[in-house]
Amino acid sequence: MNQKKRIACIGECMIELQQHHDGRLQQSFGGDTLNTAVYLSRELGELARVDYVTALGDDSFSDAMCQGWAAEGIGLELVQRLPGRLPGLYCIQTDARGERRFLYWRNEAAVRDCFTSLAAGPILEALKGYDVLYFSGITLAVLGESGRSKLLAMVSEARQRQALIVFDNNYRPRLWASVEQARAAYREVLPQVDLALLTLEDEQALFAYSDVEAVFEAYRGTPEVVLKRGAESCLVRGAGGAFDVPAQRVDKVVDTTAAGDSFSAAYLASRLRGESPEQAAQAGHRLASRVIQYPGALIPRD
């Protein structure tokens, strides 16, 4: 990179409660785009400025989130603090067999007003000047119809100004009123995407694609497409051709949380450094293979 890139990651971070089978609760924070923002900041260091874009409350949990992000070098200038509001919350319940169940409380989360609040106008205008905009299918869902419309209008203008638009498909059915609503939102954003970081399982769950070729056909107008397939190789198609890159073998998987988020961060960081798509996919697999050997989304910095 010839100059320091300005990257904005747009989405939601939530209060996370982990309930163990004996009833113990452990509290932390979690969010797909936040995980990617942290790993991007770690990967790029002084080569880029990574800002997080969301809305929080004025409570102690929101304070703690911001303190943690700042410690990771994440810029907070585009984080709104809405009086009287709270972040979303979810609980992971783990039974004696290790099976997990997720419960969510997010209908009143502050992020739903991220792009409809009084302060949203200047933030949307500022985002048009960023070099890279990163968001996910979860971002599309939690913003609601009005916020989503404002996001897509901003993204269109930013792309006209040569911003790189990066989209991770993360599809969570329970966040949408219907599968038809989700499909419409994804199809609306697709023409604006330069780099699509997709999980095959999510694409099949949302669009019922029969195979990988059907996925790539749906994204044929996207300049660069990466299809993540868990422990299998990832598939990459773009101007440099089509190829697959094997995943790295891991003898003991501890926790797959943020495997896809970290892959996306390392892939994007590598591409921004000028490396090839194949090198970027290798970097993605390397980081994801380390992340899944630790509990939680964010592994120790060392």
Burial of 162 (0-12, 13-18, 19+ CB in 10 A): exposed
The b-or-e profile of 95-123 (16+ CB within 10 A means b, else e) is eeeeeeeeeeebeebbbbbbbebeebeeb
Residue 191 has which token pair? 């023409």
Beta bridge partners of 151: none
* Sheet hosting strand 14-19, strand order edge to edge: 25-30, 14-19, 89-94, 100-105
Count CB atoms within 10 A of the CB of residue 242.
Answer: 11
DSSP strand pairing (241-245 vs 234-238): antiparallel
Closest to 43 in 3D by CA, of 80, 87, 82, 73: 73
**Catalytic (active-site) positions:** 261
Closest to 192 in 3D by CA, of 146, 227, 235, 149: 149
Give the whole-angstrom CA distance, residue 227 versus residue 217: 12
- Calculate the CA 96 to chain-centre distance: 30
